């Protein structure tokens, strides 16, 4: 779990995410894990949806080198990503479910981060 009181939490997160990016070149499941981690981060910190999308786009731009991009199979990742949430809601804590929340959570974060003067 990220500690918002640690001034370097963002550095630790990025180190973790970019380590998964290296795995992403050979293993499609790392994208699901990364989206799950970013979902947790948006939920538990002040990371905006725009920043999370930017990270995911950067990782996707580097792409899957050895995997066919036209695969239509859904990536299954039934293991827990959020261990704190797993205690109360094991189904929601699974990697694939957290990754599925990514787009909705990112959009929601950007909506609540809007400055009243921006509207």
Considering the entire predicted model, what is its pTM? 0.73
119 — pLDDT class (breaks 50, 70, 90): very low
pLDDT, greater one: 40 or 71:
40
What whole-number distance in Å separates Cα of residue 89 and Cα of residue 61? 33
Relative orientation angle of helices 29-44 and 49-62, to the nearest 10 degrees: 160
What whole-number distance in Å separates Cα of residue 113 and Cα of residue 46? 9
Place of tokens 């970013």: 38
What whole-number distance in Å separates Cα of residue 101 and Cα of residue 113? 18
Query: What integer pLDDT is reported at residue 89 of this predicted model?
Result: 93
pLDDT digits (tens, 9 = 90+) for 58-117: 887 776 444 445 555 677 788 898 888 889 999 999 988 988 888 888 888 888 775 544
């Amino acid at each position: 779990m990220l500690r918002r009181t640690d001034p370097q939490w963002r550095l630790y997160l990025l180190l973790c995410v970019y380590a998964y990016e290296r795995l992403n070149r050979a293993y499609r499941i790392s994208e699901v894990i990364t989206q799950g981690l970013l979902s947790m981060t948006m939920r538990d910190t002040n990371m905006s949806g725009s920043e999370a999308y930017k990270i995911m786009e950067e990782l996707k731009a580097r792409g899957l080198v050895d995997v066919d991009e036209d695969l239509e199979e859904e990536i299954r990742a039934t293991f827990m990503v959020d261990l704190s949430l797993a205690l109360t809601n094991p189904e929601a804590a699974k990697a694939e479910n957290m990754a599925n929340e990514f787009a909705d959570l990112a959009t929601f974060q950007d909506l609540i981060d809007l400055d009243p003067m921006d509207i």
